[in-house]
Structure 1
């Protein structure tokens, strides 16, 4: 009987092409519907937010200009007052319902004179808040005070509801209200059915070919790959050399990373945002790490350094919050600080119940390596960012530099020593400049890469 070649690849490819075309079509439609639904939701939320803002801006409009009042409040009042909660002084929201405007004008212009006149309300407020003397503001006009009142009398903004990403947590829906999970489930079912159909068609055609006497070609047997490899001596030698070199390379790289913690980012017991403190508020690094100027180590700031500011700051500004860290999160971290130092923000007194904060150390040099912060910060004038990176942009601090010996040596080779106004180096600089035939001397040429400088 004549042998007939059997070909089934064409039918398989055709069915697979139909299946993949159908799958990508369904995914594309579902994604378009999901995107449209997300855009509609974002637009509705934006309209709702804008409506809430416009409604809030109307509150207190009869008093004055709330935008100008916000600027005056932040520059003159925010150190002791908050609109919606007590601080050093009382919360200012609702003050116009408690006192008339004429009384408020007198209190702001000179509250001491108002108390001296025997006004019982003024005396009661003074005694209630630990007899804290409020500064007089005679420079504020009545219109300025009205602007401040317009700002503080606005309704307290509601916290923004958490947004759920489209398709997240199994709740994503398409524009028609059909869950994306259901669509994907149907798609998987269809693909499984197509595979089953292909298997049955293949089996049926093979049975039909056997019944018709068609002999299917047999696949030629190939020599196993490992036998071909073993029989080729040159290939064995080359492969062995490549494997040994690769193992040595990766083993050396792994061993050189022992003790290198670049990128280390531990979670601290109290979340401290360098982005807010050093970035937004531009607090100098050495205000908190004051020992870096005069000591070998920069030191961990004591909590009373934090309380220098946070006696009056018990919450963060709303614009400080991010998508990852909300205002409520930051306020909760300030509450942890108060709990650790035993501070009661309501009575503004210390309870004496102090709890230690177990900070996680971030930068840790080996004991055999000597490093002096004051020598670099005070004498050399090295900026903190040189070693610690853009610290003012870090929400959670991480180790920016590798802090390896090679990294330090390269810095010493590239850094020029400042000679201006330094009588100590004047003679040394003249001798070294003559020796090396240069005008600028690097730290390495001053002997800073000698072993005994850091290891002794």
Structure 2
């Protein structure tokens, strides 16, 4: 029997063919998945009422009225949807009355106007803010907006079939047909390769041929070669011991360091929305940071200063971003979190009053220094003038608040050594800076030069 060199390339060719077919199939499927869906623009259904523009009125409503009024629900003030028509039909009041009421509501209450006094008593005797700067045309625009019907929800336009082929029909061959054809071609390819392989083996057997097997060289196992080299074993053992010690030391040094800690809170609070999009100053909520050792967790009445009127989240003019939607942060999600706030403070949203049935919110603490370390927020915030982001990071970008810095002793010491104290216009440091400059020639004053590295400053 003769021996011939025979390399079975069939398996390689089969694998390559499968790979090409798979890549082509995935690309076709991806094109179908990422095809853009045309959206039908929502037609403007609201027409301007006589003498009023609802588009301008919406802007004026958001600027002047939205803090206390909504269109279809009672808030600090009554709902304003179709207010002109309702007052005309139910109370017999014309637009001139509305002009006078909006421009000078306290004056109308004082004059004894029946409906004005009735509204004043119904809403806790809180007079509406007067808007003397609004012209009659501005008020007409606002009334046009309150009278306009809500815009119809956008719906995806489905392609319709018209008998006779007149409707919009999908162009080209469908992806299902393409994938089916690819599957058929791939099956035929497998059958052909199997047939070729079988035929070649039959021809080799008929001609008394045999595939020459390459003789495997006998080699020493790698583990045995390693064990026989004593020097290599010694070096490896030393390397493993040193590496283990290094990683053990690094692990022990991280005990008690919670950098990156981001717990889930019982009520979701987005610093990205409050401090970022709405630019609320940190010390508005954490007011005690200016005068106290602790920054403190704001009480819920601070939240209600705004959320008494902000009862839902609309996501701003552009709505939630794609990243927010991917993470589940939709408008409905944020609105539900506001409902949790109402439940905790005992706020009756429908009747706009407190019920007295409050519930404590068990916030999870994020930044936690050990008991033997002293830190004073007011000393750093009010005296040193350090920004909150220096230690807490870019909170205005954080959807979920987390510990940005390590808060280790080395981190604090480096800050005391490297950060120059702002002495300009700061009476607290003027005398200290003058004396140090006179004695040591200090130009840039740091906390370290004022004894900020002494153990007793932080460990009392």
The equivalent of 1:3 in structure 2 is 3
Tell me the residue number matched to 2:354.
350
CA distance in 2, matches of 1:272, 1:441: 38
Aligned to 1:93: 81
Are 1:307 and 2:304 counterparts? Answer: yes
Corresponding position: 1:82 with 2:70: yes
C-alpha contact 2:420 2:444 (8 A) present in aligned 1: yes
What are the Cα deviations for residues 431-453 of structure 1, in whole angstroms up to 9, with x where unaligned?
A: 43355543112111211122221
CA offsets 1:296-344 (integer angstroms, 9 cap, x no match): 1101111122222222332234417524322222222222111111111
Is the 1:88–1:312 Cα contact (8 Å) retained in structure 2? yes
Residue 274 (1) aligns with residue 271 (2): yes
Cα shift at 1:157: 4.7
DSSP-derived class of the 1:359 partner: coil
Distance 1:232 1:190, change over 3 A: farther
Equivalence for 1:327: 331
1:397 shift after superposition: 1.1
Q: Which has the higher helix share?
A: 1
Structure 1 residue 89 displacement after superposition: 0.8
Cα RMSD (Å) of the superposition? 3.4
Residue 364 of structure 1 and its aligned partner are, at CA, apart by: 0.7
1:255 aligns with 2:245: no
Q: Does the 8 Å contact 1:87/1:314 carry over to 2? A: no
Partner of 1:73: 61
After superposition, the Cα gap between the structure-2 partners of 1:347 and 1:200, relative to the gap in structure 1 and judged at 3 Å, is: same
Q: Say if 2:239 is the partner of 1:242.
A: yes
User: 3-state DSSP class of the match of 2:385?
Assistant: coil
Tell me the alpha carbon deviations over residues 121-152 of structure 1, each in whole angstroms, 9 at most, x when there is no partner. Answer: 44443343233312333332221101112233
Matched, 1:134 2:146: no
2:393 is aligned, of 389, 393, 399, to 389
Q: Which of residues 128, 131, 146 is equivalent to 2:140? A: 146
Q: Distance in 2 between matches of 1:372 and 1:6?
A: 81
User: 1:288 is matched with which residue?
Assistant: 285
Q: In the alignment, which residue of structure 2 is the partner of 1:168?
A: none
Which shows bigger deviation, 75-84 or 407-416?
Answer: 75-84
Aligned match of 2:419 in 415, 418, 421?
A: 415
Instruction: State the alpha-carbon separation in 2 of the partners of residues 376 and 437 from structure 1.
Output: 25
Partner of 1:214: 210
Hey, what's the Cα distance between the residues in 1 that align with 2:31 and 2:104?
Answer: 64
Query: Where in structure 2 are there 5+ consecutive unaligned residues?
Result: 89-94, 157-170
Q: Is contact 1:110–1:137 with CA below 8 Å preserved after alignment?
A: yes
Classify the secondary structure of the residue corresponding to 1:412. Answer: helix
Contact 2:272–2:395 (Cα < 8 Å) also in 1: yes
Deviations 1:242-273 (CA, angstroms, capped at 9, x unpaired): 32233223222222222221111111111112
Q: How far apart are the structure 1 equivalents of 2:31 and 2:292?
A: 61
- Pick closer, same or farther for the CA change 1:340–1:140 going to 2, 3 Å: same
Alpha-carbon distance between aligned partners in 1 of 2:393 and 2:28, rounded to the nearest angstrom: 46
Structure 1: which 5+ residue stretches go unaligned?
163-173
| Corresponding position of 1:171 | none
Measured after TM superposition, the shift of residue 3 of structure 1 is: 3.3
Quickly say closer, same or farther: Cα 1:85–1:453, change in 2 above 3 A: same
CA offset digits 1:32-73 (Å, max 9, x no partner): 2333xx31x1xx22xx2x3x2x415x3445442334323322
Structure 1 residues 120, 388: CA separation in 2 closer, same or farther (over 3 Å shift)? same
1:281/1:12 CA distance change after superposition, 3 Å = closer
Aligned equivalents of 1:208, 1:415: Cα separation in 2: 85
**Residues 379-405 of structure 1: per-residue CA shift (max 9 Å, x gap):** 111111111111122222111111111
Q: Any conservation in 1 of the 2:21–2:186 contact (CA below 8 Å)?
A: no
Report what 2:20 is aligned to: 21
For 1:356, what is the secondary structure of its paired residue? coil
Instruction: State the shift of 1:114 in Å.
Output: 4.8
What TM-score results when the alignment is normalised by the length of structure 2?
A: 0.82
Three-state SS of the structure 1 residue aligned to 2:210 is coil
Task: State the alpha-carbon separation in 2 of the partners of residues 34 and 424 from structure 1.
Answer: 64
Distance 1:436 1:342, change over 3 A: same
Equivalent in 217, 221, 230 of residue 224 of structure 1: 221
* Structure 1 contact 264–399 (Cα < 8 Å) conserved: yes
The 3 A distance-change label for structure 1 pair 268 and 189 is farther
> How many matched pairs?
430
